[in-house]
Chains A and B, each alone.
Chain A
Amino acid sequence: MSGDADLVAIIRTVDLTKRFEDVAAVDNLNLSIEDGEIFGLLGPNGAGKTTTVLMLSTVIKPTNGTAFVGDFDVRKNPNDVRKLIGICFQEPKLLWVSTPWDVLNWHAKVCGLATEERKRRVKQVLNDVNMWEARRKSVHGLSGGMRKRVEIAKVLIQRPKIAFVDEPTAQIDVIGKHKIWNMIRQLRDEGSTIILATNELYEADVLSDRVGIMHKGGLLVCDTPRTLKDSIPGGDIVEIHLEKEATDKVLEELKSLKEISDIAEINPKSLRVYLNNVEEVVPQIMKAFLKRNLPILSIKMSEPSLDDVFVHYTGLTIEEAQQKMIKGEADG
């Protein structure tokens, strides 16, 4: 999805900055999100994800810099921006009216859905998020996960051109999570752009076309999950069990491959290889062993997850991270 020249940025931030007293919650953020993608916004607690989302949705004003949402400047044309967007807030915002059905019906009405369409969608989405039974319950009596279901339902009913979803499945059970992920994908497939702020890296991995990792208000790295995983050195792991002992020659040949960063001998017949680009390198490894008549008994591959990416990059300074990415791109 990323890098395609024909895709256009639907959101572009220009030195976007928000200070709360002396804390820079978002610090000169420059970020570009493409039309029609699911963009995962990651980062440790307090990184500035929610603050970024609130500025992009015109709820709070930037201290410095600005952002373009659709074709509109969030500072100059906030009314136009609000017509394009919908938000699922990190903390559900429902408590001032009485029932899930009221909350959603009111939301749909304010968003301009006509009566028939509104009734149909509210019912459909309430069913989809398993809240139809509980639609007449007081929101005060809902569990945390149920409130979150109602919160995400707002966006699913509204189907905005640009949807911000901040931790959309936090507190929601596994079956619910998968259902909601599918609905978010469907929303994207129907043409919406989705900005997913989350701390659930697995969620970001399975949903996002691209992810950006924020740290201390800035953007550390931004690319497809695949590229990011490949960008951490020795991120892939391959365990090889041989029929005979490995020779020094073959080990040397393997070490000469630039994708391989390290080889650990668990015992003379078992190796643990740390490498990048596992799909391309494994055939070369197999060739090297077969050439020297060293039959392989088994190969086990494991991939780095976004967890590894996250830990790797958030441990770095922004400069270091950008250096690494540039180096990674040059290598690949």
Chain B
Amino acid sequence: MFLRYKFLIVMRAIWFIAQVSFFGLIVSRLVVFELKGIYFQYYVAGIIIMMLYSVSVFIGYDIFEEAEHGVFEYLLSLPVSRKELVLGRSIGGGIRSFIFVGPLIAIALAIVGVTQIMNLVIALSALFLFAFGASGMSITIAVALKSGDRFDILMGVLNALIIRLSTVMYPQVFIEDASNVYAGIANFNPVTFASDLFRWGVGIEQYLTMTPLLAILGIVAFFFVFTFVGVTVYERRLEGGGWK
């Protein structure tokens, strides 16, 4: 299992470097006038959130591995409440993804530069919650689907939607320009909250979608919803009939 994570991390790191040093560098020469000079930094910050998201949701695959070995039943028999169990798993997954993405965050900070240390601390704290929430969401979906194949396909689609309809790669004004529906979705997307906050934390403030406070509230809500939903789904789906 650990080996698989090492593999994942090495691959993601290569992907990150490719995105930044090829795509980011080239595409930032291609952007409209308003984004000239800042798009590269904007893009690097967004890509970090994309990484954090995709590594956090990877924990869902662990669920299938555990289910295969019946470890679920064991966890459900331990003297802890369902809430503690789900929280433990999502926080564990979040911390792990933070540790893995940490070095890349350091690279990003070196590229973008830091102006307001306090903002950065606030932003990173909120990103912790974001990572826990993404792990919780992934666990919830994995437990609800109970099928590794379907989980894999759904997460692929969800990844495409949640990243494309967010401000990871482009500011909200351009999304709005394309479609109000897209913009509406992006406005309520946890990935948008996280991207906004991280950019605010590193001082890229030109194209924020919302105030940092709203973004923080959005992330807190994201975290609580998936912890709560996670507990409910755990109880319904697993205690109802075990894992088949």
Interface residues of A (CB under 8 A from B): 20, 54, 57-61, 79, 82-83, 85-87, 89, 91, 93-96, 107, 110-112
Chain B residue numbers with a CB within 8 Å of A86 are 77
Q: Find out whether the CB atom of A96 lies under 8 angstroms from the CB atom of B241.
A: no
Chain A residue numbers with a CB within 8 Å of B65 are 96
Q: Find out whether the CB atom of A61 lies under 8 angstroms from the CB atom of B239.
A: yes
Q: Find out whether the CB atom of A61 lies under 8 angstroms from the CB atom of B240.
A: yes
Inter-chain contact total with CB atoms closer than 8 Å: 55
Cross-interface CB contact of A112 among B70, B73, B77, B79, cutoff 8 Å: B79
- Among the interface residues A60, A86, A112, which one has the most CB atoms of the partner chain B within 10 A? A60
- CA distance in complex: A20, B244 (Å): 11
Q: Find out whether the CB atom of A93 lies under 8 angstroms from the CB atom of B79.
A: no
Closest B-chain residue to A106, C-beta based? B78
Q: Find out whether the CB atom of B78 lies under 8 angstroms from the CB atom of A111.
A: yes
How many residues belonging to B are interface residues under a CB distance threshold of 8 Å?
A: 20
Q: Find out whether the CB atom of B240 lies under 8 angstroms from the CB atom of A96.
A: no
Chain A residue numbers with a CB within 8 Å of B242 are 54, 59-60
Chain A residue numbers with a CB within 8 Å of B78 are 82, 107, 110-111
Chain A residue numbers with a CB within 8 Å of B81 are 79
- CA distance in complex: A45, B99 (Å): 47
Minimum Cβ distance to chain B for residue A194 (Å): 16
Closest B-chain residue to A57, C-beta based? B77
Give 6 closest A-B pairs by Cβ, nearest first: A93-B74, A95-B69, A61-B239, A59-B76, A82-B79, A83-B79
Q: Find out whether the CB atom of B74 lies under 8 angstroms from the CB atom of A82.
A: no
8 Å CB interface, B33-86 against A: 62, 65-66, 69-71, 73-74, 76-81
Chain B residue numbers with a CB within 8 Å of A93 are 69-71, 73-74
**Is the C-beta of B30 less than 8 angstroms from some C-beta in chain A?**
no
Q: Find out whether the CB atom of A89 lies under 8 angstroms from the CB atom of B74.
A: yes
9 further A-B contacts with Cβ under 8 Å, apart from A60-B241, A96-B71, are A54-B73, A59-B239, A60-B242, A79-B81, A82-B78, A89-B74, A107-B78, A110-B79, A111-B78
- Among the interface residues B62, B66, B71, B81, which one has the most CB atoms of the partner chain A within 10 A? B71
- CA distance in complex: A91, B81 (Å): 23
- CA distance in complex: A91, B65 (Å): 15
Q: Find out whether the CB atom of A111 lies under 8 angstroms from the CB atom of B79.
A: yes
Minimum Cβ distance to chain B for residue A4 (Å): 30
- CA distance in complex: A34, B214 (Å): 58
Minimum Cβ distance to chain B for residue A141 (Å): 15
Q: Find out whether the CB atom of B239 lies under 8 angstroms from the CB atom of A60.
A: yes
- Among the interface residues B73, B76, B77, which one has the most CB atoms of the partner chain A within 10 A? B77
- CA distance in complex: A57, B242 (Å): 13
- CA distance in complex: A87, B70 (Å): 13
- CA distance in complex: A57, B239 (Å): 11
- CA distance in complex: A96, B71 (Å): 8
Q: Find out whether the CB atom of B76 lies under 8 angstroms from the CB atom of A89.
A: no
Minimum Cβ distance to chain A for residue B140 (Å): 19
Interface string of B207-242 (1 = CB under 8 A from A): 000000000000000000000000000000011111
- CA distance in complex: A57, B75 (Å): 11
